[in-house]
Amino acid sequence: MSILKHKDLPKWLDKIIYNDFKAIFEPHPQDVVYNPDQPYEFVKIYLGTYFPRSYAESFCIVNNLFENSNYLSSIYTLEEINILDFCCGTGGEIIGLIDILQSELPNLKRINIDAFDANPDAIRFLYHLMESVVTSGNIVVDINLNPQGIFVSSEQELSDLVNLTNVQYHFIVSFKALNEFIQHGTFKNKNTYSLISSYFLPLLSDVGVFILSDVATKLNNSERYYPQILNDGINSIINSGKNEFKTLYPYSCYFNEMTCNGCYMQDVFTVSHSKKMNDVSKVAYRIICRKRFADAIVASDFNQSCRKNNPLADKNLPYNY
211 makes contact with ligand SAM (CB under 6 A): no
Residues 6+ apart with CB under 8 A from 112: 80, 81, 82, 83, 142, 144, 167
Task: Give the residue, chosen from 16, 18, 36, 251, that forms a contact with ligand SAM under the rule CB under 6 A.
Answer: 36
Among 48, 92, 227, 250, contact with ligand SAM (rule: CB under 6 A): 92
- Based on the shown chain and the rule CB under 6 A, indicate whether residue 94 belongs to the binding site for ligand SAM: no
Spell out a b/e string for 31-57, using b for 16 or more CB atoms within 10 Å of the CB, else e.
Answer: ebeebbebeeebbbbbbbbbbbbbbbb
What are the Cα distances from residue 71, in Å, to 1, 31, 179, 256?
Answer: 14, 38, 29, 20
Binding residue for ligand SAM (CB under 6 A) from 126, 133, 152, 216?
Answer: 152
Is 175 among the residues that bind ligand SAM (CB under 6 A)?
yes
Distance between CA atoms of residues 102 and 212, nearest Å:
21
Query: Of 54-83, which residues contact ligand SAM (CB under 6 A)?
Result: 54
96 binds ligand SAM (CB under 6 A): no
C-alpha angle with apex 168: 166 to 172, nearest 5 degrees? Answer: 110
CB of 100 or CB of 152, closer to ligand SAM? 152
Binding-site member from 48, 52, 89, 233 for ligand SAM (CB under 6 A): 89
Query: Applying CB under 6 A, does 87 fall inside the site for ligand SAM?
Result: yes
Please, what is the Cα angle at 17 between 211 and 179, to 5 degrees? Answer: 35
Residue with smaller CB distance to ligand SAM, 177 or 297: 177
* Residue 9 binds ligand SAM, judged by CB under 6 A: no
Q: How far is the CB of 123 from ligand SAM (least distance, A)?
A: 9
Judged by CB under 6 A, the residue of 1, 20, 151, 239 near ligand SAM is 151
Q: Which amino acid does the sequence have at 140? A: V
Report strand pairing: 276-290 vs 204-215: antiparallel
Q: Note the helical H segments in 84-243.
A: 92-104, 120-132, 155-162, 178-183, 192-200, 226-240
Candidates 148-156, 234-242, 248-256, 299-307: pick the segment binding ligand SAM (CB under 6 A). Answer: 148-156
- To ligand SAM, the closest distance from the beta carbon of 110 in angstroms equals 23
Q: How many CB atoms are located within 10 Å of the residue 244 CB?
A: 13
Q: Which of 186, 171, 188 shows the shortest CA–CA distance to 288?
A: 171
When asked if residue 247 is in the footprint of ligand SAM (CB under 6 A), the reply is no
234 C-beta neighbours (distance < 10 Å), count: 25
Does residue 176 bind ligand SAM (CB under 6 A)?
Answer: yes
CB of 182 to ligand SAM, least distance (A): 10
Query: Is there binding between residue 122 and ligand SAM (CB under 6 A)?
Result: yes
CA pair distance 36, 303, nearest whole angstrom: 44
CB of 173 to ligand SAM, least distance (A): 8
Q: Binding of ligand SAM at residue 50 (CB under 6 A)?
A: yes
CA 249 to chain centre: 13
With respect to ligand SAM, which residue has the nearer C-beta, 225 or 302? 225
Please tell me the number of Cα atoms within 13 Å of 43 on its side-chain side: 21
User: Exactly one of 51, 171, 187, 285 binds ligand SAM (CB under 6 A); which one?
Assistant: 51
Contact residues for ligand SAM (CB under 6 A)? 32, 35-36, 50-51, 54, 87-90, 92-93, 117-119, 122, 151-153, 175-177, 180-181, 186
